[in-house]
Structure 1
Amino acid sequence: MMVGWIVGLLLLSQQNVAPDRITIDEKSGQIMADLERGAYSINYLDVPLIDNERLHQLTDEVTKKIFRKPKNAIINDAGAIVKEVAGVQLNQKAFVESFYKHFYGEGPMTFEVPQKPIYPKVDSELLASIRVNPIGYYVTYFNSNNHHRYNNIKLATQAINNYVVQPNETFSFNRVVGERTRGRGYMSAKVIVRGEFSEGIGGGICQISSTLYNAADRAGLTIVERFSHSRSVPYVPSGRDATVNWGGPDFSFKNNYNQPILIRAHAMPGRVYVSLLSSDSINHKPRHVPSASESLPEEINAGTDVGQPVP
């Protein structure tokens, strides 16, 4: 009988309560919470208690609502450094403390939501210090008249451009570039380039991973994972390719130096350029890597082979 009475009070306390409001002032960045006590109360013997499960749900919801990812400093197409932007996350401990204070206080439960900044990994000062010393580069060539393949190449170069690999960090091509889908702008490259089967959606991506591999190898970085195609490809010398496929082969390298490495990648009509840079104080040990042929790769229609797994 007692249990049924308590459950009834609990259900009654959660009826007809006003919805919570979390408002964000875009100009000032101030975030206000306007909450209804009844939504978080368990009344037992006239003593108001906090429903901790509802409070946890609220904290999770506010955390998701106000989260803003930080933006690293980058070098734009004009060569100028674009300053970093700090992100924002909920200060959960301070939020719960403020909730308790206002719940057991008088008046409405309206208070400023406590935030704390998320600082980006790459700021303009770091970027300025590691853009000065080229330690490795590589150039490969392609037929820019194949518009779908060119589109995929540009998207992949944009994904790795301005990426900073910290000392002892391992760079994973698949992790950084992400899944190649239509929703992300990738297209089906309906060609085979002298035996290189396209990925279907995202065909042409292997030229970027192969260009990056040769630049990283030339810079003396530690190659962690690399797989060659089962057939030779024309955009790099024999045995100098790095095949990748989402959910399959990956290309990765480790920054074995004590300074961060900056990746600069550009796709221009007919060529892909990848350059690795660092600070003046880096003591790198370059390797000899043969250059790619400037001849445009021969392309043939893939026909029904498009979409087959990368060999």
Structure 2
Amino acid sequence: MMTIIAAFIVWFSQVIVQNEVIVTFDGQQVASAQKSDFTVPLLEEQIIDTRNYTQFIKRINEKIYQKPLNATINDQGSIVPGKVGIQLHQEKFKEQFYRHFFENSTTQIEAPVVEIHPKVDTELLANIRTHKIGQYVTYFNQNKKARAHNISLAGEAINNHVVFPGETFSFNEVVGKRTKEKGYLPAPEIVKGELTEGIGGGICQISSTLFNAVDRAGVKILERYSHSKRVPYVPPGRDATVSWYGPDFTFKNSLNQPLLIQSKTQNGQVIIEIYSSDIVENRNE
């Protein structure tokens, strides 16, 4: 009897190994695997290995995922429409996978997808660009090329960002880590009261300008730290130092409408404007 059982298991494994799961998207193969990779062999029934199945799903989604793009405002003041993204529709895929998995033949599945709509579309952007509720301007030396470059990069990172009612804005989260790979350059910065050189030096002028702009808009400031040494581009006590491994600048949109951050650097100026709908109200008032 044991010999028969052993022979059956060997035969079963050989049959399964010959059967593939092939996943296609838009007519192109994006993933494939042997059915045996997902099978836990038992005597009475076949059980799918959920851990391997989950990893398989992850690989598929990485191949077909397309990030949605928010609508933006270009340098000419025109609205550039956003773009709908897509991701794997996991429930529909699971239905197809389980329905065909136990067939003794190669299974081909066209990956079902679900659309991911951008948070900021043309209609929303058109509505919240109508009323300026805050603005601040600071100045920098254009001849300090590395610092000016870093200021421009950080300014681009926050430009067109929309903060919805009740949401918290984090400068570090939105701008991301300042690295050489992202184009940031070594430039002077203040660390523990001393002027030193570090990657991304100068970006605190963006966070400080933003702080003054949103403070005038009436939002709730959650986290802000001053430099250990006075900076020349804002009055004393009106700066907001940031560091990837240290201080952050955060605020909460306490308004009843989304707010739009518009940031630009030109002719040695950092200009940050805050817009919202013309029916905006402060919930804290």
Q: Are 2:127 and 1:129 equivalent residues in the alignment? A: yes
- Structure 1 residue aligned with 2:181: 183
Is the 1:219–1:284 contact (alpha carbons within 8 Å) kept by the matching residues of 2? no
Residue pair 1:10, 1:43 contacting (<8 A) in 2 also: no
1:24 alignment partner in structure 2? 25
Structure 1 residue aligned with 2:217? 219
Deviation at 1:197, TM superposition (A): 3.1
Equivalent residue letter for 2:169: F
Residues 190/8 of structure 1: CA separation in 2 closer, same or farther (3 Å cut): farther
Aligned to 1:308: none
Kept in 2, the 8 Å contact 1:17–1:39? The answer is no
Label 1:46 to 1:191 Cα distance change in 2 as closer, same or farther (>3 A). closer
Partner of 1:267: 265
User: What corresponds to 1:9 in structure 2?
Assistant: 10
RMSD between aligned residues: 3.1
SS in 2 for 1:189: strand
What corresponds to 1:309 in structure 2? none
Secondary structure of the structure 2 residue equivalent to 1:184? coil
Counterparts in 2 of 1:65-76, with a 5 A limit? 65-76=63-74
Summarize the alignment of residues 5-154 of structure 1 with structure 2, pairs less than 5 Å apart: 5=6, 9=10, 12-13=13-14, 17=18, 21-25=22-26, 36-41=34-39, 44=42, 49-105=47-103, 108-154=106-152
Do the aligned partners of 2:30 and 2:63 also contact (CA within 8 Å) in 1?
no
Is the partner of 1:183 in helix, strand or coil?
coil
SS of equivalent residue, structure 1 residue 152: helix
Question: Aligned pair count?
Answer: 280
Identity level (%): 49
Question: Gapped runs of 5+ residues in structure 1?
Answer: 286-311
1:84 shift after superposition: 1.2
Question: 1:73, 1:84 within 8 Å by CA — same for their partners in 2?
Answer: yes
- The letter for the 1-side match of 2:263 is A
More deviation, 202-211/216-225: 216-225
- 1:235 matched to which residue of 2? 233
Q: Give the TM-score of the pair, scaled to structure 1.
A: 0.79
Residue correspondence of structure 1 range 244-283 to structure 2 within 5 A: 244-283=242-281
Report if the CA contact (8 A) 1:211-1:272 is conserved: yes
TM-score by length of 2: 0.86
Letter of the structure 1 residue corresponding to residue 258 of structure 2: P
CA shift in 2, pair 1:142/1:183, >3 Å: same
Structure with the bigger percentage of strand: 2
Q: How far 1:284 sits from its partner (Å)?
A: 5.1
Structure 2: gaps spanning 5 or more residues: none
